[in-house]
Structure 1
Amino acid sequence: MADVSVGPPDRDRLFGTDGDGDADRAQLLLVAGLVMAVSLVTLVVLLNATIYSENVATRGIESADGEALEVRATAVGGTGELIDATNRAGPAGHADAAQTVRDGVADLDGEISRSYAERGGVAHVELVSVRNGSRLTAEMAAVDPNASTLARDVDRTRGFVLEVNPGSLNNETNAFHVDLDNSTGGSRQVYVYNGTDGNVTVAVGDDGAGPTVRCETPPGGRDRVTVDLTGERLGDRPCPGIWPSSLVAPDDPYDVALVNASGVGGEVTATARPVSGDEVSTDLAAAPAVYEATVNLRYRTAELRFETAVRVAPGEPDA
């Protein structure tokens, strides 16, 4: 009879020889390495794609923001120049001044629309409202020797500029000055005088206190030196701290007076807004003017929709 018994399993047949095991392990290591390499490459590709998409999106946002700001600056700058040009021209009355500004904004809208249409955008500027005031001008030599009120009961002043002849300025003791008097918030005096080494000097004092120098500049042989009170500049240099912050957006009306001005050669100009009504009360010359305007601005492209209302009052002090 044949032998059908089962013997013990053959280890070499089941597990292979030692050389065969090493080969299998090497193959497993190779496959694992390939899997890890593919995973790393995939991760790098996804990361680069994410960074690229974010950069492109960011550049698009910054570009759109910059374009919107450019359109806004164009509209505000054009409207401001229009307001000042209208006031300098001496309109017959406030209605005439407002209509001139309205017509001018319509023309500005056409120019801006055409300009940005060529760049693929749709822009529109529309006048919403105007606020009346007075443009005040005077030769200082014609001002009362003691004091004259430039404006009474106003709540906004812009473009307040003194053009002074350096050779006509007094010393500090008898200095010409502007008095800004808020009945509930005190007063500020802005002095302009012949200071050290003949420099044109601007100083301030509060509530009648002694002046503190803010800035000075040599006359440099000039016939006129500009002191921009609301713009806080002396000539072409900044002169911070001239205009009191309490009068940027005051809670109560204030008066503006010129003191010791009659001996000074030069001119004063300002545009002021009364608390009520259209005309500013003054001892000097006043003309109808537009103090401010509000415009609606809309701008649209394939990537951007922008709309805002902007108050335009050129030469007004910043808060």
Structure 2
Amino acid sequence: MIGGDGADGGDGSGGDRRPADRRFRDADRGQLLLISGLVVAVSLVALVVLLNASIYSENVATRGVEAADGEALEVRAAAVEETGALIDATNRNGTATGAEIEAGVDELNRNLSGRYASRGGIAVVEPVDTTPGWYLSGPVNDSTTAPDVDRIRAFSLTNESALPSTDAANASSEAFAAVFNRSAAGGTREVYLYENGGDVVVAGGENGSTPTELCRSAATGDPVTLDLTGDRLDGEPCPGVWPADLGDDEYDIEFENADGVGAAATATVESATEPASDTALTVREAVYDATIDLRYRTADLRFETTVRVAPGEPDA
């Protein structure tokens, strides 16, 4: 007869018969897994917090840099605009010399320094150099010439009398025109201004060929102003007015069919030769451009640049 101590250890209890040290080792492993899981969870939470903090800090820093950059560009724009206004004002007054412009830039420096000091910035504008030129103003006719022009800016024409009435096919012989005669490269570029069908028309051509219409505006009977270097007709955009292929070659500026138009011109040119004509066109020495050094500093930014200022110069 089989005795009572069977597979359950003989005491009938059915309990765990593993040795005590093994049971303790299994319990240790379970606790270790729980602790490891807790450590991993805490680490992930800490990583997420640190990542969010890093992203936030980078965004704040980036916004600060963009704001500082914007202020530096604002200072640059103010310095360029006011230097350009200074050059043009002294040219119109007939007092433009390198020394006059330098004195004006020194005054500008004092104004900008005071303006931006209240914002916690240090702005410094210093004159570097100027380029001599000629300021032209007054009536033009078929004998008006500006020879050996290297560069030109703020070149505009205004008519006082009625413009010739014609069309593109006859513009080369009938329309009022500013002609750019390229000395070295050869050939000519023409900009025509005339009336057609009750509109004022601007057209561009080359070598006297039939021109291409660039823009038109309803004629009002008032004087019309064509800004050649700014590509504008009476203040409105007129793309392509300035001949882009003039490049860096010297050219002479002449006029055709101008005698009956009562046209007046203003321009500032850089030329080794004094422009001349037999009209009342006034030609006087002027400053063509100026170069300035600009420095701007704040607690977060250091900005330095050298800028050439030539207001109204064509983009081409």
C-alpha displacement at 1:76, in angstroms?
Answer: 0.7
Number of aligned pairs?
292
Instruction: Indicate the residue corresponding to 2:261 in structure 1.
Output: 264
Query: In the alignment, is the contact (CA less than 8 A) between 1:102 and 1:127 conserved in 2?
Result: yes
**Aligned counterparts, 1:20-169, within 5 A:** 27-91=31-95, 97-140=97-140, 143=141, 147-165=142-160, 167-169=162-164
Query: In the alignment, is the contact (CA less than 8 A) between 2:163 and 2:193 conserved in 1?
Result: no
* TM-score when normalising by structure 2: 0.85
C-alpha displacement at 1:89, in angstroms?
Answer: 1.1
**Aligned counterparts, 1:193-212, within 5 A:** 193-195=194-196, 197-212=197-212
SS at match of 1:168: coil
The separation in 1 between residues aligned to 2:210 and 2:260, in whole angstroms, is: 21
Instruction: Indicate the residue corresponding to 2:308 in structure 1.
Output: 311
Query: In the alignment, is the contact (CA less than 8 A) between 1:154 and 1:280 conserved in 2?
Result: no
Aligned-pair identity in percent equals 52
Cα deviation digits, residues 8-55 of structure 1 (max 9, x gap): x952534449xx96x777655543432222121111112112212221
Instruction: Indicate the residue corresponding to 1:6 in structure 2.
Output: none
Cα deviation digits, residues 174-204 of structure 1 (max 9, x gap): 1011101113333210000102x31111000
Instruction: Indicate the residue corresponding to 1:241 in structure 2.
Output: 240
Runs of 4 or more, structure 1, over 6 Å off, are 23-26
Cα deviation digits, residues 43-83 of structure 1 (max 9, x gap): 11121122122212212221221111111111110010011
SS at match of 1:35: helix
Cα deviation digits, residues 224-274 of structure 1 (max 9, x gap): 222110011112221121212233x51x31100111111113421111111
Higher alpha-carbon Rg: 2
Cα deviation digits, residues 81-117 of structure 1 (max 9, x gap): 01101111123xxxx6333222211111110011111
- Aligned-partner residue type, residue 62 of structure 2: T
Instruction: Indicate the residue corresponding to 2:274 in structure 1.
Output: 280
SS at match of 2:258: coil
Residues 14/103 of structure 1: CA separation in 2 closer, same or farther (3 Å cut)? closer
C-alpha displacement at 1:166, in angstroms?
Answer: 7.4
**Residue in structure 2 matching 1:301, options 298, 303, 311:** 298
- Aligned-partner residue type, residue 299 of structure 1: Y
Specify every segment of 5 or more residues in structure 1 that has no aligned partner in the other structure, as ranges. Answer: 1-8
- Aligned-partner residue type, residue 38 of structure 2: L
The separation in 2 between residues aligned to 1:241 and 1:165, in whole angstroms, is: 24
The alignment yields a C-alpha RMSD, in angstroms, of 2.4
Instruction: Indicate the residue corresponding to 1:216 in structure 2.
Output: 216
The separation in 2 between residues aligned to 1:262 and 1:149, in whole angstroms, is: 10
The separation in 2 between residues aligned to 1:112 and 1:222, in whole angstroms, is: 44
Residues 52/166 of structure 1: CA separation in 2 closer, same or farther (3 Å cut)? farther
Query: In the alignment, is the contact (CA less than 8 A) between 1:137 and 1:270 conserved in 2?
Result: yes
Instruction: Indicate the residue corresponding to 1:292 in structure 2.
Output: 289
Query: In the alignment, is the contact (CA less than 8 A) between 1:132 and 1:273 conserved in 2?
Result: yes
SS at match of 2:40: helix
- Structure 1 residue 187 corresponds to structure 2 residue 188: yes
Query: In the alignment, is the contact (CA less than 8 A) between 1:272 and 1:280 conserved in 2?
Result: no
C-alpha displacement at 1:317, in angstroms?
Answer: 0.5
The separation in 1 between residues aligned to 2:116 and 2:221, in whole angstroms, is: 43
Specify every segment of 5 or more residues in structure 2 that has no aligned partner in the other structure, as ranges. Answer: 1-15
The separation in 1 between residues aligned to 2:163 and 2:315, in whole angstroms, is: 31
Instruction: Indicate the residue corresponding to 1:253 in structure 2.
Output: 250
Query: In the alignment, is the contact (CA less than 8 A) between 1:166 and 1:225 conserved in 2?
Result: no
